[in-house]
Amino acid sequence: MNNRILPPHFLHTSNCNFVIVFFCLLAWCAQAQPVCTPALDESYVTTEIALLIEYESEGDCSTATIRKGQKFVWMWASIYAYDYEGAWGAFEYLLSVKVNGIPVYNVSALTFNTETECENGTFCNREVVKVIDVSGYTHSASAELEVIAHAVRPPGLDDPGHRGHVYTVLTVHPRSRFLLSDTRQDFRPRNSDSADPVAATCNSGYDCYPSFAARIEASCCDVKIGFELSDVSTLAGISTNYGSETGPDYAVDPDLNQGMVSVSGPPGTVAYETADPSTMASLMLTSLDYGGKAKVKAYFLAPETGEKIYAEVVEDWEEPTEPESTMERQFARLPFDEDEDGMGDGWESEIGGPNPSADEDGEPGGGAPGDGLSAHDEYRGFHWLDGTAIKHIRTDAKTKKDVFYWDSSSDGRYSTALAGLLELRVPDAVFHPVNAYAARLVTPGDPLSGVHPINNDSLTSPRAYAIVYAEDNLSATKELANAGMPGKRPDPIRIDPSELSAEITLNGNQLTPATLRAIIVAHETGHRFALWHYKRWCNHQPLIPGQAEPSSLQSSEYALTAVDPQLVFLRLAIFERANDWVVSERPDPNFGLLTNYEYSWPPQFFYGDPPMGQGFDSAVVLVHAASPIPTNGAALAVNTIDSFLMDWYIRHTPLMSTTVNWGFKMDDLSQIKVNVQ
């Protein structure tokens, strides 16, 4: 290229206005910008060329600085030839692009199509649009872009009669950017499927229908913009304790994305593109779970090649920051999740402290960490009952242990007792009522069938059960209720309303039905928290010759009789009433005769004569054992009755008539294990 002023004959054409524009352009380039002279082979010559580059950084008319982190540049070149005695027939034209001196794009032997690109036999125009990938040069530093356009004459062509002028209007955007909006940090996935009873409140909103926008900045041309949805989770159900679906947790509803058409994408992706070229597009997703995750990419199809150019993700859509490198993230994560553990960073910030791992279960308190629910279980959340309305809740994975329960009675009589008492007595625990379905009942309609783990849909090993209160006939054993073995279990807590009524009558109506139910529910639920009955250990004393009461016997001792190894004397603690007392129970192996005989000699019921008096250590009774009692150091575990919730049998006295006067022992509170099975 040279900077000569156009020859006078150039102005005498029918394209005078056009030529004047390029004359001015050439003059501007020659006077206001440094001259860029390409290094050409000596066998080639250059005609006059006007060159214009639009950019913001310093440089001459054919170079520009590409910033660090730039992924591509968008180039638009229009090469004009004005014929003076057949110039376009004698010359070929060349366009060359280099980054840091390395060729990245070349158009050589470019000639005009006289039928489509030439006008009136005197003027020709060829347009070249190109998106150039420069990411390999700008990963860690800025790079220099050089664009050269010129006309060449092949060697040996000696035709001085063919003269003409070539002008190139070149527009390069060294700051071209293709941006994709990131997921909002306050996004919490919600199921929008109408089959979900909670979905009625999800008819709109970002949590139900997250959307993503993509735009091209500093470009010259409209293109087709597409989106790819990939890595979509397929969690079982729709929350931790609800549903059984296993389909994708996010979908694209065509009705919500007018102007977009489905296209084929890479394996495992769902892809949509704009039907018409544009510089901006958006995609709305439909959330179908309360804990799903996915990735979203945006791309545009480069002119001429159809190459996919992927967007860089920016958190601030209005004022995007400069990229640090070309390795910037090219996908938006659902939810906004830097460590990609499936839990939104916003939720993790809400619960405080270091971000938990997905399988973490470490709520403090109650003698054992955790509640059997992983952090991801609690992030995904649960369906629960607020009165009669089904709602969804994300629980506390850091400071509160969560207990779910289902009251199968028709009037909620047992859950009323639970809510009114245990929520006040069990520290660091939150109680959530659920219905039969959310409790994961094994057999629909049968509360005695037991439950599956309430976190049956967990990504980790499910090990938490909802507590079920179910009515049953326990007349054969004369029990008011039975929770089975201590600890969380899949079987229900069985309660016999008839036995409760009989007990109230037997004890002179000192307790109301509501108070007795509260006592029984609290006691049996205490077993589900791994609490035992209160007991004291009695050590063996020497045999006595007959059945006379040994006056020296202490409450921590027992003595066998010489006449029958099934007869033993035992001194009990205080009793308020002189009937219906029990030394131990069955079939719990931690009660009855223990130590070396725990497994070889099954525990038994022990029945004894009523105590002979009142007061501590005042009653010595003769116990009739169902089996012989060893004489070699076995110890007896004797239940005590101290008017606390975990007494084997709560004494029905005026003192016990109101729940404010009784509860767990202080040392019970440190023994509560919400997650022990």
Assign 169 a pLDDT band (cuts: 50, 70, 90). Answer: confident
pLDDT of residue 438: 97
User: What pLDDT score does 647 carry?
Assistant: 73
Q: Give the model's pLDDT for residue 216.
A: 93
Q: How confident is the model at residue 633 (pLDDT cuts 50, 70, 90)?
A: low
- pLDDT for residue 172: 79
Q: Are 317 and 298 in contact (CB under 8 A)?
A: no
Euclidean distance between CA atoms 314 and 217, whole angstroms: 13
Residue 215 has pLDDT above 80, yes or no: yes
pLDDT band at residue 661, thresholds of 50, 70 and 90? low
For the chain, give the mean pLDDT.
77
Rounded CA gap, 212 and 231, in Å?
Answer: 16
How far apart CA 502 and CA 495 sit, in angstroms, is 13
Q: 401-407 and 467-471 as β-strands: parallel, antiparallel, unpaired?
A: parallel
Q: What residues have CB less than 8 Å from 516, skipping those under 6 apart? A: 480, 500, 503, 504
Contacts of 255 (CB under 8 A, 6+ apart): none
Collapsing DSSP to helix, strand or coil, 120 comes out as coil
Hey, is 300 helix, strand or coil? strand
**In this predicted model, what pLDDT tens digit does every residue of 216-237 receive, in sequence order?**
987 778 899 999 999 999 999 9
What's the pLDDT score for residue 648?
Answer: 64
Give yes or no for a contact between 526 and 646, defined as CB atoms under 8 angstroms apart: yes
Q: What domains sit in the chain, N to C, each tagged with a CATH number?
A: 8-175 (2.60.120), 178-334 (no CATH), 375-528 (no CATH), 535-640 (no CATH)
CA torsion sign, 433 to 435 to 438 to 440? positive
C-alpha R_g of the chain = 43
- pLDDT tens readout for residues 435-473: 999 999 999 999 999 999 999 889 887 789 999 999 999
pLDDT of residue 143: 92
Higher-pLDDT residue of 663, 121: 663
- The residue type of 110 is L
The two three-digit tokens of residue 262, written as one number: 């489905």
Strands ordered across the beta sheet of 92-99: 63-66, 143-152, 92-99, 102-110
Cα 225 to Cα 215: distance, rounded to the nearest angstrom: 8
Instruction: Please give the residue that has the higher pLDDT: either 153 or 46.
Output: 153
Q: In sequence order, which residues have a C-beta less than 8 Å from that of residue 674 and are 6 or more positions away?
A: 366, 368, 370, 371, 372, 401, 403, 429, 488, 529
Cα(183)–Cα(673) distance, integer angstroms = 39
Mean pLDDT, range 95-122, rounded to an integer: 82
CB atoms closer than 10 angstroms to residue 26 = 22
Give the model confidence (pLDDT) of 390-423 as tens digits: 999 999 999 889 999 999 998 888 887 777 677 7
What is the residue type of 632? N
- Of 86-100, 272-286, 613-627, the one with minimum mean pLDDT is 613-627
CB 363 within 8 A of CB 352: no
Is the predicted pLDDT of residue 504 greater than 80, yes or no? yes
Q: Which of 673, 665, 315, 652 is nearest to 503 (CA)?
A: 652
In the three-class reduction of DSSP (H, G, I as helix; E, B as strand; rest coil), residue 528 is classed as helix
Indicate the SS3 state at residue 198: coil
**How large a percentage of the chain has pLDDT more than 70?**
74
Predicted local confidence at residue 494, as pLDDT: 97
Longest C-alpha distance within the chain, in Å? 145
- The β-bridge relationship of strands 592-593 and 636-639 is antiparallel
Q: How far apart are CA 492 and CA 466, in angstroms?
A: 9
Helix, strand, coil shares, percent, the chain, to 5: 15, 30, 55
Which amino acid, 635? A
The pLDDT assigned to 366 comes to 65
Tokens 């525990």 belong to 603
Dist CA 573 CA 287 (whole Å):
62
Q: What pLDDT score was predicted for residue 331?
A: 96
Per-residue pLDDT tens over the stretch 42-68: 333 334 444 444 433 233 346 788 889
Lowest mean pLDDT segment, chosen from 144-153, 248-257, 278-287 = 144-153
Q: How far is CA 187 from CA 240, 249, 257, in A?
A: 18, 15, 20
pLDDT at 611 over 70: no
Q: How confident is the model over 182-211, as pLDDT tens digits?
A: 999 999 999 999 899 998 888 789 999 999
d(CA 413, CA 422): 14
Flag whether pLDDT at 163 surpasses 60: no
Continuous segment of H or E residues that includes residue 272: strand 270-274
Confidence of residue 618 (pLDDT cuts 50, 70, 90): low
Higher pLDDT, 504 or 596: 504
- The alpha carbon of 542 is separated from its chain's Cα centroid by a whole number of angstroms, namely 65
Placement of tokens 């229908």 in the chain: 209
* Strands 250-251 and 286-287, bridge-based pairing: antiparallel
Binned at pLDDT 50, 70 and 90, residue 155 comes out as low
Q: Greater confidence, 388 or 119?
A: 388
Rounded to whole angstroms, the Cα distance separating 546 from 595 reads 26
Do β-strands 123-133 and 143-152 pair in parallel, antiparallel, or remain unpaired?
unpaired
Contact criterion met (CB below 8 Å) for 643 and 655: yes
Other residues' Cβ atoms within 10 Å of the Cβ of residue 236: 14
Q: What is the pLDDT of residue 254?
A: 96
510, 466 contact by CB (below 8 A): no
Three-state DSSP class for 239? Answer: strand
Most confident of the following: 220-234, 534-548, 581-595: 220-234
CA 17 to chain centre: 64
Indicate whether 547 pLDDT > 50. yes
Q: How far is residue 113 from each of residues 116, 121, 349, 515, 633, measured CA to CA in Å? A: 6, 11, 63, 99, 112
Distance of CA 466 to the CA centre of its chain: 22
Give the percent of the chain with pLDDT over 90: 36
> Cβ contacts of residue 536 below 8 Å, gap of 6+?
555, 556, 573, 637, 638, 640
Confidence at residue 568, expressed as pLDDT on a 0 to 100 scale? 80
C-alpha–C-alpha distance, residues 335 and 381, integer Å? 15
Comparing 468 with 667, the larger pLDDT belongs to 468
pLDDT at 300 over 90: yes
Q: Which residue has the higher pLDDT, 233 or 659?
A: 233
Dihedral pair phi/psi, residue 558, rounded to 5°: -140, 160
Q: Identify which of 596, 594, 672, 592 has the alpha carbon closest to the alpha carbon of residue 639.
A: 592
What is the dihedral sign for C-alpha 474, 477, 479, 484? negative
- Given this model, what pLDDT does residue 124 score? 80
Within 592-631, strands assigned E span 592-593, 607-608, 619-624
Q: What is the pLDDT of residues 562-577, one digit of tens each?
A: 888 878 887 765 443 3
- C-alpha count within 13 angstroms, C-beta hemisphere, residue 608: 22
pLDDT at 304: 81
Distance of CA 234 to the CA centre of its chain: 12
168 vs 474: which has the higher pLDDT: 474
- Which tens digit of pLDDT belongs to each residue from 328-375? 889 999 999 988 899 999 999 988 878 889 999 988 876 678 899 999
Rounded Cα–Cα distance for residues 296 and 271 (Å): 10
Average pLDDT for residues 635-656, to the nearest whole number? 65
Q: What is the pLDDT of residue 551?
A: 78
CB within 8 Å of 185: residues ≥ 6 apart: 336, 344, 345, 346
Q: Which residue has the tokens 């609690």?
A: 378
- Is residue 634 over pLDDT 50? yes
pLDDT attached to residue 620: 72
Say what the pLDDT of residue 85 is. 54
74, 368, 429 from 365: Cα distances, Å: 61, 7, 9
Torsions phi, psi for 91 (to 5 deg): -115, 150
> Residue 87 pLDDT more than 70?
no
